[in-house]
């Protein structure tokens, strides 16, 4: 089956045509504002038999790859405020595709589905039971399409050594997933994609008491707080400029103290959360790096490996420095394998689309 995969980011659009898992054609729109023309032109040229859409948040209603109809679109739209940077963009792609290709079956592939196996203790917030039930408050987790592919591909690269896998999706948005026996048992993002690691412009986890203090004692408005946590924090907030880790590292090499602190805070949060994920699955057999930072920043990979060295993680300096795509970067003496996996959400979307339509 020829599947068009639609991956709408916060500012970009990635279109891929796959025949089973084989890439046939690709088109990227770096600055996409929701216009339907790129999707219409791509479909007119390639005539996909089905369309798969990456959607960040599925909530409790959409728990796996789901054929799209009006009801499902409404359920996804109701979650927009929980993932405002991405949900609305995915919906623009869905509506555009349904308008110009109404007879082509479309499927929503949700990032949250990968984390539906979280144990109740891992997914439940210690809030009043009635709140959790009334508003469906729970840890949902994100980047599931990336984690799902990375875990499978990583195990292949490591010779199927992946009983307990720490999947590190590191990019502008970052999260970790603890996967034991193929099932996600813990993850760093929560009810929204704001929790967990320090990211490019997002703060990650912050003391809720501090946030309440800003709201009640310092006159910060809810909207200002939301915007600041999502768009003006993280590496950008600490370094005082770009949230791109490449820029932070360049400034750090020029002895910029703010950039040095930004990198150290980012790396420390990664190590701290990695330790928690490893404890949650009772050890570590395989460490997987994916995403823009995970694939292209050997310095950060080496630093995390050093921090986890007491567990038997050790990367080969030459392999690590040379790797930007699928490869084993472990040293020969490492007890825990470490691999880099090129992020291929398109493969996962295509696979899930075919499964949903053949069910």
Tell how strand 175-180 and strand 183-187 pair up: antiparallel
Half-sphere exposure of 36 (CA within 13 A, CB side): 13
Please state, in angstroms and rounded to a whole number, the distance separating the CA atoms of residues 276 and 257.
Answer: 29
Torsion angle of the four alpha carbons 56, 62, 65, 67, in this order, in degrees rounded to the nearest 10: -110
Distance CA 87, CA 230 (A): 14
Q: Is the CB of residue 92 less than 8 Å from the CB of residue 37? A: no
Burial (CB count within 10 angstroms: exposed 0-12, middle 13-18, buried 19+), residue 104: middle
Report the C-alpha gap between 53 and 3 in whole angstroms: 10
Q: Tell me the two tokens of residue 80.
A: 């927009």
By C-alpha distance, which of 282, 18, 5 is closest to 165?
282
> Which 3 state secondary structure label does DSSP give 304?
helix
Q: In terms of Cα–Cα distance, which of 277, 85, 271 is closest to 180?
A: 277
Write out the catalytic residue numbers.
111
Helix (H, G, I), strand (E, B) or coil at 96: helix
């Amino acid at each position: 089956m020829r599947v068009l995969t639609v991956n709408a980011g916060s500012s970009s659009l990635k279109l891929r045509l796959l025949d089973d898992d084989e890439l046939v054609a690709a088109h990227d729109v770096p600055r996409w504002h929701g216009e339907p023309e790129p999707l219409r032109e791509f479909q007119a040229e390639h005539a996909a038999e089905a369309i798969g859409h990456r959607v960040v948040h599925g909530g409790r209603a959409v728990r796996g790859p789901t054929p799209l109809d009006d009801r499902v679109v409404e359920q996804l739209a109701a979650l927009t405020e929980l993932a405002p940077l991405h949900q609305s963009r995915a919906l623009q792609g869905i509506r555009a595709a349904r308008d110009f290709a109404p007879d082509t079956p479309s499927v929503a592939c949700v990032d949250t589905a990968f984390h539906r196996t979280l144990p109740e203790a891992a997914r439940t917030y210690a809030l009043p039971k009635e709140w959790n039930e009334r508003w469906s408050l729970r840890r949902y987790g994100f980047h599931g399409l990336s984690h799902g592919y990375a875990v499978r591909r990583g195990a292949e690269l490591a010779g199927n050594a992946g009983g307990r896998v720490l999947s590190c999706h590191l990019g502008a948005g970052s999260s970790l997933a603890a996967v034991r026996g193929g099932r996600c048992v813990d993850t760093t993002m929560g009810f929204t994609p704001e929790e967990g690691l320090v990211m490019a412009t997002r703060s990650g986890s912050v003391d809720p008491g501090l946030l309440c203090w800003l709201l009640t004692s310092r006159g910060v408005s809810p909207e200002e707080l939301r915007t600041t946590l999502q768009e003006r924090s993280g590496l950008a907030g600490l370094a005082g400029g770009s949230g791109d880790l490449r820029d932070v590292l360049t400034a750090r090499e020029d002895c910029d103290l703010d950039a040095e602190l930004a990198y150290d805070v980012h790396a420390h949060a990664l190590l701290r959360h990695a330790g928690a994920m490893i404890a949650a699955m009772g050890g570590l057999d395989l460490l997987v790096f994916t995403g823009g930072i995970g694939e292209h920043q050997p310095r950060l990979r080496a630093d995390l490996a050093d921090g986890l060295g007491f567990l038997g993680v050790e990367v080969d300096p030459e392999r690590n420095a040379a790797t930007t795509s699928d490869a084993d970067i472990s040293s020969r003496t490492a007890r825990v394998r470490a691999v880099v996996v090129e992020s291929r959400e398109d493969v996962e979307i295509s696979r899930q689309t075919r499964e949903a339509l053949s069910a």
